[in-house]
Structure formats: C-alpha cells, structure tokens
Amino acid sequence: MAIVDLTVSAGVATLTFDNPGRKNAITQEMAAQVVGHCAAIESDASVGAVIVQAAGDYFCSGADTRSLAAASRNPAAPESVTTISNVYDVFGRIGSLPVPTVAVVVGGAVGAGMNLALAADVLLTTEDALFDSGFLARRIHPGGGHIGLLGRSVGRPAAAAMVLFGQPLTGRRMYELGWALQCAPRENLAGLARELVSMAAKDPELARRIKASLQLELGTSVTWAQALEIERGAQMWSMARKGEAAWTTRGTVSQR
C-alpha cells in the first residue's frame, strides 16, 4: 500500500514517501496523508526541522498517472479539479511548513516530484540524480507553480531549457546552479541531512521564527528597509529570551 510515513525524533520530523513500486508517484491517498502529517508538524512545537525523503531508488516520479488519466477525461469537472488540487497540496503544504525543510533526492524527480523537491528550503542529492520537468514529454502544461519554482531555484535560462525544451538537469548541475546545497554519494545523504538539521532541531521555537522571516523576505521582492522591520521584532524576542548572562564568547559574559 502506498503511504507517506511520519516519524518524529529529537526535534526532527521525517516524511517518507513509500510507493517505490511506482517510483513514489503521488496517489490521492498519499496526498491526503501529507496534508494530515503537515498539520501534525505545524501543531507540534517540539519539531524544529523536517526531512523529506523517499523509500527505494527514486525520489518521486510525479503525480500518479492513473489520477492524471482520470482527471483528463473532463478536466473542467469539479472532481478533476479536486484531484489535481490534491496533488498541488502535497508540495504546497510542505513548502509552507513553519519549520526548516530539507529534501533528500536520489534517483530522480519528475514533474510534481520536482515541485516537491523544490518546495523544500534546502536540497541534498547525488551527482547522478535526474531532475526533469517532464510536462512537455507528457504533452501537458506545467502545473503547481512549476515554472515559478524553477525560475526562483535555478534561474531563467535553466528553467527555460527545462520547461520549453524538455531538458533535464543532473544533481551535479543543480549543485552548480546553486539550488542543491550538497551532492554526495547516496549512502552519505541521510547522515548529511541529520547533521544539517541538528541545530534547528535543538531550538524549534527559534527555527520557526527564522523560517517565518525567511519566507517574508525571500518569498517575494522585499526592500532592505522592509527586511529590517521584518527581522526587528523577531530578533528582539530572541535577545530577550537569551538574556544578558548568556552573551558569552564561550561561556562568560563579554566585557568591554
């Protein structure tokens, strides 16, 4: 049975897409599970970071083609709109989580699967993983904000090559373009992900505050003056929480 599993340990929530027989294609049941898991993560103040990963050898091949086929019978029908919207909710909910998120991509990510990878704050992948827009090959228009996600992640030229001409990118190229934080052998990715999220997991409240500021400042065009105001209140809150005695070089209050 295709599922999305949620585990929480030491401040880290891990979402595992488990439909390896279909390259972790997103079914309607999986979409519903993601929405429920994201609600649980949002309400659990102990969670300071989220890792999104997949079982098997492939991150996500996109929306389940059986759902796409059913929706294509009459795309304007309410049930068809609901089917596609449910898929959008998967990466939409993960992308709007109030905690830092890391996607760990092996094998490849196509279409909605690429949206899922791009929705995370940080991407870790292997050099040979394949990132493929996939919509042109399926003769359908990109959906789920795919073009915007690509443009913000890899820049206009690479985004144009992917959506207009169907050109895929490797994990190595994603790293070179600045979207993937690291490329590493598959066996090293899990450890790298846990190391990356460790600091945020230790201080979930602060991590959520910083994530909120990041979304406000980088989600849209923000002036420096606006960024100053976005950060001012959150920084003062964090300073009050820390207290004067905690300002140390490595254990003692700095004296000047």
pTM metric for this prediction: 0.89
**Distance separating alpha carbons of residues 11 and 30, to the nearest angstrom:** 24
| pLDDT at position 251 | 40
- For residue 71, the model assigns a pLDDT of 83
Q: What pLDDT does 122 receive?
A: 97
HEC readout, 18-52: ECHHHCCCECHHHHHHHHHHHHHHHHCCCCCEEEE
Say whether 69 sits in a helix, a strand or coil.
helix
In the chain (256 residues long), the average pLDDT of successive 10-residue segments reads 92 97 96 97 98 97 89 83 90 95 98 94 97 90 88 90 96 94 97 98 96 86 67 66 68 41
